[in-house]
Structure 1
Amino acid sequence: MKIVIDARFTRTDHHDGISRYGSSLIAATSKLADVTMLINDKRQLALLPDVPYVMVNSPLSPVELFVARKVNALGADVVVCPMQTMGTLGRRYSLILTLHDLIYYEHPAPPGFLPAPVRLLWRLYHKAYWPQRLLLNRADVVATISRTTEALIAKYKLTTRPVRIVGNAPQPGQTPRDPAAGADKTLLYMGSFMPYKNVETMIRGMAELHDYTLHLLSRITPQRRAELEAIVPAGADVQFHNGVTDAEYGKLLDRATALISLSRAEGYGLPLVEAMSLGTPVIASDIPIFREVGADAVSYVDPESPADFAAAVRTLGNDPVWQQHSRRSVKRAAEFDWDNSARQLLTAAEEAIALRKRTSQGSRRTD
């Protein structure tokens, strides 16, 4: 089977969630099938596996409408896009489009790195569900990363196409920490600082945790940093790192008491799985997607309650409790695996090919 995977959403400096998902899926799938990547900037190759690639236009370009004309020439059995926006006019291949989550219908602020015209279209797009239906119904199969999103797709009737899970997973080769070694009194947050991420609750909770340090690891704009610094409680130790390398992140996870994520909504929560794979306990908001990902390994709290957050940290301050959570975290994270995700993708690809073949045969009989 020849598969083309769209890698044009790969970042050129550091991975975000979509970028890491696509890169990891390409690496795992290329071990099982003939895979070619689509890129639009050679700098993307630094964050991608050593797999054959073809240069095409940016996915944000107006000519994206006609990208299928270039992709047709590659002779792919199936094309996989980790987003749902790929151009399809005139395509002659089976197609899998991906919808990760529906967060932006409830929280419509677009990512800041997008050009201004695209941000405007983003907001307009998320004011109704019919544009999403138009995009998804161009595919043969729709992929998503969680049962939570699968249920939402069904609830809002976003597609008539089959919806299949192609799961997310932590990076392979992680060595879990030794629970007996204990932990430093440090707490970590890895994620954006958009309002729905609810970083404010964890900062306010630090008023009761003066013996702990909260490390905010991700890149942050000066304006957003000033907003958050203004609410840091007196005497609390909150450190802004403005970005860390993967190596630095791993080192911090290897000694932290817990990773924290108090989002009001989330598409998946990859930092949770990354932390759990290393044996670092997680404290997270009690929302459906985190329950799906964390099961009984995560400490769930009310995302609007700084006191609940602080109490969960105090509970993990008990060494036997912390060690129990650490072991449970490793066991849970082992259930997420990129090789399994690649097998899920191949199964979906076979289904997409069969569906397109049946559709084509039906069209010929009608003619």
Structure 2
Amino acid sequence: MKILIDARFTRLDHHDGISRYGASLIAATAKIADVSMLISDTRQLALLPNVPYTLINSPLSPAELFVAAKVNPLGADVVVCPMQTMGSWGRNYALVLTLHDLIYYEHPAPPGFLPAPVRVLWRLYHKAFWPQRVLLNRADVVATISSTTESLMAKYRLTKRPVRIVGNAPQPGLTPRDPGAGADKTLLYMGSFMPYKNVETMVRGMAELPDMTLHLLSRITPERRSELEALAPAGANIVFHNGVTDTEYEELLARTTALISLSKAEGYGLPLVEAMSHGTPVIASDIPIFREVGADAVSYVDPDSPAAFAAAVRELEAPEQWKDRSARAVRRAAEFSWDASAQRLLAAAEEAVALRARKHR
């Protein structure tokens, strides 16, 4: 079976969540199956594994409506897309589309990197569920990354197609830190600064943590930085990195007290799993997806309470409590792997091929 995976959502300079998800799945699946990929810019290859590829149009181009005409000659038995927007008109292959989450129905502000016309369509698209149903029902099988999203898809009847979970995982080869080495008085946040990420609560909570330094690692616009700086309590130690390399991120994870995520909505929460794989404790908002990912390894807090966030940090200052959370984190992270996700993807791809064959008998 020939599997073609759409890698056109890979970023050009650094991974975001979907970019890393796609690249990691390609690398893991290529070890057990005949895999090639689609790209839309050769610069994407720097962040992708060394597998055969075909260069075609951007997934944001109007030509996407007719992309099957370019994909059909490639001879794939099944095409897997890490998004749900891939064109499908006239295809002669099985198709697996992916829905990561339903965040943008509750928080409709689109990502800033999208072109202005696409941002307008984005908002319109998320005002009703029927456009999502139209997109997903074009597939033979729909993939998602968590049981939480799977349940929401069922609740809103988003697709008639089989839904299969192909989860996220930490990067392989990460070495857990030495719990006996302790931690420095820092806290890390890795993620965007969109409103639903709720960075405001942790910034306000720093009023009760004057001896701690909060490192905000991701890239941020000057306007958003100014908004958060205006909220910062007097004397709070907050560092805006405006982007870090993977190496810098791992070095910070290896000595910090905890990784923080007080988001009010998430599709998965990959930074949680990345931190846990290092043995770094996590403090997270008490929402269903974080409970699914973190189980008993994470300290859960009310995302609207700066005081609850600060109290959770103070609990980790006790050496035995920190060591316990670190050990739990490593055990929990070991339950996730890209190899296991690749096996699930392969099973979903085989199911899609079988369903399409049955439909066209």
TM-score (norm 1): 0.98
Letter in 1 for 2:192: S
Q: Distance in 2 between matches of 1:257 and 1:50?
A: 36
Tell me the residue number matched to 1:365.
none
Q: Deviations over 1:154-208 (max 9, x none)?
A: 0000000000000100000000001011000100000000000000000100000
TM superposition shift of 1:235: 1.2
Q: Give the equivalent residue in structure 2 for 1:340.
A: 340
Q: Could you tell me which amino acid in structure 1 is paired with residue 225 of structure 2?
A: R
Q: Name the residue aligned to 2:352.
A: 352
Query: 1:136 corresponds to which letter in structure 2?
Result: L
Q: Where has structure 1 moved over 2 Å in runs of 4 or more?
A: none
Q: Structure 2: how far apart are the matches of 1:294 and 1:277?
A: 11
Counterpart in the other structure of 2:158: 158
Which residue of 1 is the match for residue 268 of structure 2? Answer: 268
Q: Where in structure 2 are the equivalents of 1:356-367 lying within 5 Å?
A: 356-361=356-361
Aligned length in residues:
361
Return the alpha-carbon distance in structure 2 between the equivalents of residues 269 and 141 of structure 1.
Answer: 24
1:271-350 residue pairs with structure 2 within 5 A?
271-350=271-350
Distance in 2 separating the partners of 1:230 and 1:274: 30
CA distance in 1 between counterparts of 2:247 and 2:296 reads: 28
In the TM superposition, residue 52 of structure 1 has moved relative to its aligned partner by: 0.3
1:219-243 CA-partner distances (Å, limit 9, x unpaired): 0000000000001101110110000
**SS of residue matched to 2:36:** strand
Alignment correspondent of 1:119:
119
Report the Cα distance in structure 2 between the residues aligned to 1:236 and 1:333, rounded to whole angstroms.
32
Instruction: Give the CA deviation at 1:114.
Output: 0.4
Residue 213 (structure 1) aligns with? 213
Name the aligned partner's letter for residue 8 of structure 1: R
Shift of residue 25 of structure 1?
0.2
CA distance in 2, matches of 1:17, 1:224: 20
Q: Secondary structure at the match of 1:230?
A: helix
Q: State the partner residue of 1:179.
A: 179
Distance 2:115 2:29 in 1: 32
Number of the residue aligned with 1:199: 199
**Pairing 1:100-115 to 2, within 5 Å after superposition:** 100-115=100-115
Q: Which residue of 1 aligns with 2:190?
A: 190
Q: Give the Cα separation in 2 of the matches to 1:313 and 1:2.
A: 49
* Structure 2 unaligned spans of 5+: none
Following superposition, the deviation at residue 279 of structure 1 comes to 0.2
1:125-164 residue pairs with structure 2 within 5 A?
Answer: 125-164=125-164
Pair 1:43-2:40 in alignment: no
Write the distance in 1 (CA, Å) between the matches of 2:231 and 2:159.
43
Q: CA deviation at 1:78?
A: 0.6
Task: Name the structure 1 match of 2:83.
Answer: 83
* In 1: Cα distance, 2:48 partner to 2:139 partner: 25
Q: Structure 1 residue 68: deviation in Å?
A: 0.5
1:364 corresponding residue in structure 2 = none
Separation in structure 2 between the aligned mates of residue 207 and residue 250 of structure 1, nearest angstrom: 27
Inter-partner Cα distance in structure 2 for 1:89 and 1:198: 39
Secondary structure of 1:224's counterpart equals helix
Counterpart position of 2:245: 245
Aligned-pair identity in percent equals: 80
Structure 1 segments unaligned to the other structure (5+ residues): 362-367
Aligned partners of 1:198, 1:112: CA distance in 2, in Å?
17
Aligned residue for 1:142, secondary structure, equals strand
CA offsets, 1:244-291, max 9 Å, x none?
Answer: 000000000000000000001111000000000000000000000000
Distance in 1 (alpha carbons) for counterparts of 2:113 and 2:349: 32
Give, in whole Å, the separation in 2 of the partners of 1:18 and 1:47: 12
Q: How many Å separate the matches in 2 of 1:332 and 1:55?
A: 39
| Counterpart in the other structure of 2:73 | 73
Distance 1:279 1:187 in 2: 14
What is the identity, as a one-letter code, of the residue corresponding to 1:210? Answer: P
Structure 1 CA distance, aligned partners of 2:231 and 2:346?
48
Secondary structure in structure 2 of the residue aligned to 1:233: coil
> What is the letter of the counterpart of residue 44 of structure 1?
Q
- The amino acid across from 1:217 in the alignment is L
The alignment partner of 1:24 has SS state of: helix
TM-score by length of 2: 1.00
1:45 Cα offset (Å): 0.2
The SS at the match of 2:89 is coil
Code of the residue aligned with 2:166 in structure 1: it is: V
User: What is the CA-CA distance between 1:139 and the residue it aligns to?
Assistant: 0.1
Amino acid at match of 2:187: L
CA distances 1:1-60 after superposition (whole Å, capped 9, x unpaired): 110000000000100000000000000000001111100100000000001000110000
> 1:84 is paired with a residue of what secondary structure?
coil
Q: Secondary structure at the match of 1:290?
A: helix
